Amino acid sequence: MLRITFIAGYAILLLGLIAVIALKVISLGQNASWGESPLVDKSRSIDAFLFDPSRRAIVIGCIVAFIIGWLLLLKNIAKKSPQWERTWVKTLTVGCTIMMGFFFVLAAVGMTAHYSTGIIQETAAKLGGLMSSPVVMELSFFFIGFILLTSYNIYRRKADGDDFVEMEIKDK
């Protein structure tokens, strides 16, 4: 149950973040590669509702409440779960935190490109495009994972010592 709860909550967070990014892109409408359409009009109205400064505290409060509720539920379920499942979820948490951090940085770059002007807007738009291109995103995940794995291995070797095994051989 712990694994399912973790994956479901993470999927909701990630899909929500992707939906917000998609909503922003679709609401551009004529500036994007397609023209005006009912989808663009509807996404602009949703965008205006969600990102209205008067509603910003409510939207952020709902997101934070979901995250806190999800974490409390995970903590409650973890108390009743076996040790192997808690270990499995801890390992999964590290990977998901890295990916979620990447998507939050991508969302921050996208918001910078949307709300700023001039050279900052152009730089953020190019950086967001580069970060979200398929090859660069997968390679960055690979290198971040490789660096973290190597760093953990170095830390573990310093903490535990080398993995050499000494065998005692008796002379006859």
Per-residue pLDDT tens digits for 145-166: 788 788 877 887 787 776 666 7
Confirm if 31 and 110 have CB atoms less than 8 A apart. Answer: no
Q: Is residue 104 part of a domain?
A: yes
Is residue 151 included in any domain, yes or no? yes
The predicted pLDDT at position 73 comes to 82
Look at residue 106 and tell me if it is in a domain: yes
Residues of the chain short of pLDDT 50, as ranges, are: none
The number of folded domains in the chain is: 1
160 vs 152: CA distance, rounded Å: 12
35 lies in some domain: yes
Residue 144 placed within a domain: yes
Record the tokens describing residue 100, joined without a space: 């979620």
Q: What is the DSSP letter of 67?
A: H
pLDDT of residue 79: 79
pLDDT value for 29: 59
**Exposed e or buried b for every residue in 22-33, given b needs 16+ CB within 10 A?**
ebbebbebeeee
Q: What is the pLDDT of residue 11?
A: 83
Tokens 């990447």 locate to 102
Asked, for residue 166, whether it belongs to a domain, the answer is: no
Confidence at residue 56, expressed as pLDDT on a 0 to 100 scale: 79
Establish if 169 belongs to a structural domain: no
Whole domain around residue 155: which residue ranges? 2-160
107 assigned to some structural domain: yes
